[in-house]
Structure 1
Amino acid sequence: HKPHHGYGRLREKWGARREIMKGLGILSIAPLLAMAEGVRGLPVIKNARFALGTNGGTGRRLRALMLHGKGGEGARFRERMAPIVDSFTGIDFTFPTAPFCIDEEKSGFAWWTLPPGVRSFEATRYIGVEKSIESLQEICRNEGPFDILWGHSQGAILLSSILASPSIEFPEPKVIILNGCAWPKPFESDLESFKKGHLPSLHVVGREDKVNPAEQGVRVARSFGQRARVFEHAKGHIVPCDEAAISCYTGFLKTHLLI
């Protein structure tokens, strides 16, 4: 494979950052490079648009549960994720809306509420999170099982908390993707003792993320153990949907879903 023009310069640029992040305990670190090199150890798919077929020969289509962030809404999140949905035509995507309305226009929703000025990675309690967990458990009973759990921001924090908590009954997926995640302070002890190394996880962090800084997502990734992969992009608090990111998602899903 002939390296993309300029790869050497980009590799040198990211060298120091990669060494720092490796020191945090992540087994495999791969920043989002301009030429879409993808996650280290995963294949680079040049044409990411493809049908994912059936679930490991079971005859059932793959299913993904997609959780929006604070202030989002299911249908609106689906619109923003359209490049991803359109790229994976063989997956059935479910986009629920969180139960707590947080604005007068009833256009923004949250998976829990917090006192004014308190951040999720600082809070000692997520007010109402039990209701959100119950609603997701009901969705899993009615529309699951889900092969993929995929969350953004508060949705990612919720999924990491659910999977790490031994007291929460929730069907385990085959893979999980957490975008713009932060450390879930109320579930800190669960995450610190989690280390569920058999569950493949992809942790997407933004180098310019001012909402949930990249080191928050890296810390969560470390708690997921040896099969965690970190994918860093150059933007802020978004779900990257460009060609490089979709190539990364494609490689990750093809590697772990037996497609």
Structure 2
Amino acid sequence: MKGGDGAKMRIVCLHGFRTSGSFLRKQISKWNPSIFAHFDMDFPDGIFPAGGKSEIEGIFPPPYFEWFQFNKDFTEYTNLEECIAYLCEYITSKGPFDGLLGFSQGATLSALLLGYQAQGKILKEHPPFKLFVSISGSKFRDPSICEVAYKDPIRVKSVHFIGDKDWLKLPSEELATAFVNPLVIRHPQGHTVPRLDEDAVCKLSNWAMEIILSQRSTNAAPVDTVDETVKNDEEEEAAEPKEKCECEIAGNGIALQRREAEAVEAVNA
């Protein structure tokens, strides 16, 4: 399914601390491919080389990167402004993009970009983002940042993956409250991109389909200029029970996903 201009919706995907875009792509690959089949996913590397040991050394090949640096309490940040400027330039020059996806540091940074854009601080010439996928994300704790980024509820369709055993469980829950009507998907795992059970696949697939259909409606041609055959096909598709359809499509790969033996699980156990 594509937008009215013939292009898929595009998502920038920001990896976690001291990993890489390639590693996040590998992590996301454990999800059923039907979920994001109608999106183009872009996986850039962080702006800075890893400044210390990466937890995926020996599991996934280097190089490793980080977006910015921080103190142990996550209240002071180094190179954050440079990182934001880099991502704004990246998004502007390679965009436009429709949404952001992030894991851990990447999710925290993505939410900051969304909040800053909503307040008119950055990306003023870029269209507002439409969607956000947060996996183990959190808020920044510096009051000067919070007073701007989370000043008002962020009106971007968002889904938040929160692990029962994640050390960022409470911060992830707090981040979800910064968004209007967030979809929260809980899982029993820790600080990881989780494998999805059938219920989670259905919820995420339906969430993504709603955004796609909304985008299609926005980009649709005026009724009196639409070919009747195309219009009838779209009306029939829109009338179908999406939840059942999406669950059946996504469910085909559940058994295969559970049999995958990815090396990254050693890191995320």
Shared fold per TM-score greater than 0.5: yes
Deviation of 1:195 after TM superposition, in Å, equals 0.9
TM-score (ref. length: structure 2): 0.67
Instruction: Report what 1:70 is aligned to.
Output: 17
The question of 1:147 aligning with 2:103 is answered no
Alignment of 1:49-60 (within 5 A): 53-55=1-3, 57-60=4-7
Counterpart of 1:178 (choices 124, 127, 134) is: 134
The amino acid of 1:240's aligned partner reads P
- Superposed, 1:39-118 pairs within 5 Å as 53-55=1-3, 57-84=4-31, 86-87=33-34, 88-101=36-49, 102-103=51-52, 107-115=63-71, 118=72
Determine the C-alpha separation between the residues in 2 that align with 1:131 and 1:157.
Answer: 16
Work out which of the two has the higher radius of gyration on C-alpha atoms and give 1 or 2.
2
Asked whether the 8 Å contact 1:182–1:217 carries over to 2, the reply is yes
Once residues 84 and 129 of structure 1 are traced to their aligned partners in structure 2, the CA distance between those partners, rounded to angstroms, is 30
TM-score by length of 1: 0.69
Tell me the residue number matched to 2:264.
none
Note closer, same or farther for the CA distance 1:65–1:175 as it changes in structure 2 (3 Å cut): same
Correspondence for 1:251 among 198, 206, 213: 206
SS at match of 2:101: strand
Q: Shift of residue 58 of structure 1?
A: 2.8
1:22-33 alignment runs, 5 A limit = none
Paired position in structure 2 for 1:201: 158
Letter in 2 for 1:250: S
Distance 1:146 1:192, change over 3 A: closer
- Cα deviation, residue 191, structure 1: 4.2
- The SS at the match of 1:93 is strand
Q: Tell me which protein shows more helix as a share of its residues.
A: 2
Counterparts of 2:15 and 2:203, CA distance in 1:
20
Counterpart AA for 2:186: E
With a CA cutoff of 8 Å and minimum separation of 6, indicate the structure with the bigger relative contact order.
1
Give yes or no for contact 2:32–2:201 (8 Å, CA) kept in 1. no
Gap runs ≥5 in structure 1: 1-52
Give the aligned partner of residue 238 of structure 1.
192
- Matched residue of 1:163: which SS? helix
Residues 1:222 and 1:185: Cα distance change in structure 2 (over 3 Å): same
**Cα pair 1:63 1:146 within 8 Å, conserved:** yes
Aligned length: 197
d(CA) in 1 for partners of 2:113 and 2:30? 27
Cα deviation code 1:15-39 (max 9, x no counterpart): xxxxxxxxxxxxxxxxxxxxxxxxx
Q: Distance in 1 between matches of 2:188 and 2:205?
A: 19
Partner of 2:252: none
